[in-house]
Amino acid sequence: MGGGCMKVVFNGILERSSGGCVPCGRKRTSELSMKSQKLYILPSGKTQRFRVGIPVEVTDEDGAFLMSYMYTDQNGEKQTVFTEVK
């Protein structure tokens, strides 16, 4: 496998969650919420749970994959989901 490794920190991610009840017919609703932890399946095949502010060491390939994640905040601005730490 080779290659180096890098440390990344999860910054959190804004996601839309939906609710409702199909059997009883209650209307579906959706709301935006900031997630402070999230599970990712990485290109290396490893499943990793990330928590806000906790540095995690990953391979360079997995790190590049994670660094590509972005989301749009309530103001319409792009935000990074992960930050590399030295």
Give per-residue pLDDT as tens, 3-56. Answer: 689 999 999 999 887 776 777 777 767 788 899 999 999 999 999 999 999 999
Q: How many domains does the chain have?
A: 1
| Domain coverage including residue 51 | 5-85
The whole-angstrom separation of Cα 21 and Cα 34 is 23
Confidence of residue 66 (pLDDT cuts 50, 70, 90): very high
pLDDT at 9: 98
Confidence of residue 2 (pLDDT cuts 50, 70, 90): low
Measured in degrees and rounded to the nearest 5, phi and psi for residue 41 equal: -100, 120
What residue ranges in the chain does DSSP mark as E strands? 5-10, 13-21, 26-35, 37-41, 47-51, 56-59, 70-72, 78-80, 82-85
Region 72-82 average pLDDT: 93
